[in-house]
Structure 1
Amino acid sequence: MSNEILERIETLIGDFDDPVLGRVLQGARVTVDTESPLSLRLTLGWPAAGIRESLAESVAEWLAARLDETPAVSIDWEIASHAVQGSLKPMAGVKNIIAVASGKGGVGKSTTAANLALALAAEGASAAVLDADIYGPSQPRMLGAEGRPTTRDGKTMQPLQAHGIGVMSVGFLMDPEQPMVWRGPMVTQALNQLISDTDWGDLDYLIVDMPPGTGDIQLTLAQRVPVSGAVIVTTPQEISLLDARKGLKMFQKVDVRVLGIVENMGTHVCSQCGHEDHIFGEGGGQRLAQQFDTPLLASLPLDPKIREEVDGGRPSVISDPDGAIAHRYRDMARRMARELAIQGGEAEAAFPNISVVDD
């Protein structure tokens, strides 16, 4: 295969612009088989099981329209450990820790965290959830996980398993009816133990469900825990956006990259007539994303099914995997993971890395 053709492929792959995801192949590793017929293997830096086949077909059609032959295209992914804040080092076995945060409570942050972890797993990554809301742990109920953590070595705890992902929460260690009447130092110590004393195994993503606000837990996480990125959850309501801005600026101040905004309760669709209404305001999440030059990862509706499913311990990604809501969460997960791959330095170049295989 001539160098001219290889250069042509490199340019075309770099210019491929998906109508939904944009420059989806930015930073991908491209392996070209020199044997005829032409075949390409694209290795992404983020999981993409839900769009593997459609993306491969789109790329093949794109190339076929610009080359003299139709290539066979396959899609795979390798998830790297990305840079963290300050002088901290990534945690052993855990490639990326993602904080899911909000400026205020009641915006659907924990629901987003649970579905995000499950969506990442559905997309082909290994994921787990850490419930860092010490005062109000909700992940045990949302993920339908019951019991107490066990230990194999007498030193570390094994996370409980729920729907194929690990989950750890102080809710597993305390009476669920007992309030946490703890001062700040006790809370931060509990968080440190939940993180460091849990045997997470090998994870691509550890999703941390943060408590609302910008207090002790957030400061502890920023100073002591190697965080690869943060996702901010809000509603379109102005009072929610005001607090979301504070949370976003907090992560910026401690050098944790913000991967995007998730807007919950963007619209309400009447179950009787189908009328769609912006009861909490319109476009708030998009405006916040534009203000801080960060992506809007998803805009999710106010749908009773989402609440019912997490209340029943089977979030939308699990209870209705082929439904519209689950597809939105999976798209959100892909966008978040892709943004991390780009911001994390794995995709700084505008063009992919091309290698040639001579079988």
Structure 2
Amino acid sequence: MPDASPTVLDLASDSVALTKAICDFPSVSGDETALADAIVAALAGASHLEVIRDGDTIVARTNLGRARRVVIAGHIDTVPINKNLPSRFETDADGTEYLWGRGTVDMKAGVAVQLKLAAELVEPAYDLTWMWYDHEEVSADLNGLRRLAEHRPDLFAGDFAILGEPSNGQVEGGCNGTLRAEIRTKGLRAHTARSWMGENAVHKLAPALARLAAYEAETVEVDGLAYREGLNAVAVAGGVAGNVVPDEAVLTVNYRFAPSKSVAEASDIVRALFADYDVAIVDAADGARPGLDAALAQEFVAAVGAEARPKYGWTDVARFSALGVPAVNYGPGDPIKAHADDERVPVSQILDVERALRAWLTAD
């Protein structure tokens, strides 16, 4: 952790320096207020923007009467810090320069690009709605975009949306859906010295774990993009004491499913696989189809010279998709490095994404 967090953001600095400054504002989910305050303060002089705040979510938008509106969003929270702040620059043996530290990939480099462009693009080709929101890395019921959609659904109006999630500077269409299920077993407590008098609930999970180990996840093509699915055990809980046969156990399973499936269909698949168990779906979110058939999406992909790829993880493109707004992921950073202790983003990608996005947003 840094000895002292920064207190201001200088939007006149280049996007790399701005990324570093934003990363050095610790903003683990639930602790975004200082960064949100700094964003509002930094935008105070931008007279071309209408700035709206809802909790620690900030919206800034132009109202120029353009024929089309683009919504560009990014979350300002991160997963917990693990000795990877303050951020620093490092160079690989091949000469590639990186900015290292929590949030550099997921997704403060994207946020920095968005903030710089929001402040500088006074006469964009489209009307723009910029959104920076809190609580993306935690339970969906806390998500700042979900809350904003309840309070101000009108702010989501647009012809196309971009999430600045890390995509290696390419365009990742749509996203997989996600589901968590709890598989629960019951047993009978007994002293382990006389274990035959009880029923071990943990042991009863063995067949379920064997099914998961043998499960072969599908690759599903959706609108020309191949989405890889995944079904995995992510937690096992059970046990009373070191000398007691446990009478209850819970296996938590996470299913990442292609956007061609609904939550209901994905739930049925999980329930069918564990039909002989007590299964409860505890959290779920639909995915989003690629959205690349929209004219504005095709123009965007061509303009930034990107390759269209599938997004395997869930992102808030799904919220826009559900509202009928085609949305894609586009931002600097390798998604594989998101949440990693050695999280780092190539400096060149930050600059390339800024350059490409600026060119598209200012084109006639």
Q: Structure 2 length as normaliser, TM-score?
A: 0.26
Q: Structure 1 length as normaliser, TM-score?
A: 0.26
Higher Rg: 2
Structure with the largest fraction of strand:
2
